Amino acid sequence: MQQQVNQDVKQRNCITVHKTQGRPVVFGHGFGCDQLIWLPVLSQLPDNVAPITFDYVGCGRSDFGAYDKEKYASFNGYVQDLIDVIEALNLGAIDYVGHSVSGMIGMLAAIERPDLFKQIIAIGPSPKYLNDTDYEGGFEREDIIDLLSMMERNHFEWAGYLAPIVMENSQRPELAEQLRKSFANSNPEISRRFAEVLFLSDNREYLERVPVPVTLMYCAVDVIVPVSVIEYMATQIPQCDLVELNAAGHYPHVSAPQEVSQAIMANL
């Protein structure tokens, strides 16, 4: 029975075990993307690392038939996806690398199931994107409402607008185009719901409860997650290290995969 459950999860979340020999490391993708976003980094990893990637339900090559509006109306559905994925692998506690929202999902999952995590490496995470009293999240509520409205009105216009802004590397327009295609290929309705869950969330209260070591990797220039957010998180997470990447933008694993892979290896 458990074997069947594991197989169902592997298909549902399109789990890809890239290698069977080596130290297993699970990689979680960010909003608007799927597991393929990690390929540039995976190609740089040494032979002694066995990377594993997956898609959240409603993303990439996951089973869209498993998407449930209620389940994924909060972080809980995505947290359960990650827990299910790690359990299905049957590897015990693993190292986890999560980009953006996946970093926060990893921390929430570790609070619920600390036995599944050795450590978390979070690249550009944020517990709250909206500015608040004594907290600079980077966005005013009106900014997010405008963004959500654009997604609802014209998904492709939104993808073309946002991709070059968050990628930052204007001298390499091909990177923004790659990201635009990823955004544009996502399901408009599901993507818009995911964006609302993400950008209107407030997970600050959970940071002090994260039970495993966390390494926060960040770029000094990132319009989605300002450095002030990273510094705030570092004061709240009990076991926390900071690593500034020699890269710019919210997608350093795309623009500087060698830098990111080296930083990951230095912290495993």
Give how far the C-alpha of residue 125 lies from the chain's centroid of Cα atoms, to the nearest Å. 7
Decide if 175 is inside a domain: no
Greatest extent of the chain over all pairs of C-alpha atoms, in Å: 53
Per residue in 100-130, pLDDT tens?
999 999 999 999 999 999 999 999 999 999 9
2: pLDDT strictly greater than 60: no
Total number of domains constituting the chain: 1
Give me 45's structure tokens. Answer: 């990893």
Classified as helix, coil or strand, 168 is: coil
85: pLDDT strictly greater than 50: yes
Does residue 100 carry a catalytic annotation? yes
Decide if 161 is inside a domain: no
C-alpha dist (Å) from residue 253 to 8, 39, 107? 29, 9, 20
pLDDT at 53: 98
pLDDT at 6: 78
Decide if 180 is inside a domain: no
pLDDT at 171: 87
Per-residue confidence band for 169, with pLDDT thresholds at 50, 70 and 90: confident
Q: What is d(CA 59, CA 264) in angstroms, rounded to the nearest whole number?
A: 24
Nearest-CA neighbor of 32 among 131, 158, 141? 158
Radius of gyration of the chain (CA): 17
Q: What is d(CA 32, CA 186) in angstroms, rounded to the nearest whole number?
A: 7
Nearest-CA neighbor of 252 among 227, 215, 214, 219? 219
Q: Residue 45 sits in which domain range?
A: 2-127+203-266
Q: The domain that contains 86 carries what CATH number? A: 3.40.50.1820
Nearest-CA neighbor of 231 among 249, 255, 207, 248? 207
Q: Which amino acid makes up residue 164?
A: P
For the chain, give the percent of residues with pLDDT over 70.
98
Decide if 146 is inside a domain: no
Per-residue confidence band for 1, with pLDDT thresholds at 50, 70 and 90: very low
Decide if 46 is inside a domain: yes
Q: Crossing angle for the helix pair 141-153 and 155-167, nearest 10 degrees?
A: 130
Decide if 184 is inside a domain: no
Q: How many of the other CB atoms lie within 10 Å of CB of 57?
A: 24
Q: What is d(CA 266, CA 268) in angstroms, rounded to the nearest whole number?
A: 6
Decide if 31 is inside a domain: yes
Per-residue confidence band for 7, with pLDDT thresholds at 50, 70 and 90: confident
State the catalytic residue, choosing from 29, 222, 253, 261: 222
Q: What is the mean pLDDT of residues 5-16?
A: 89
State the catalytic residue, choosing from 29, 155, 250, 253: 250
Decide if 132 is inside a domain: no
Average pLDDT value for the chain: 94
State the catalytic residue, choosing from 29, 62, 95, 100: 100
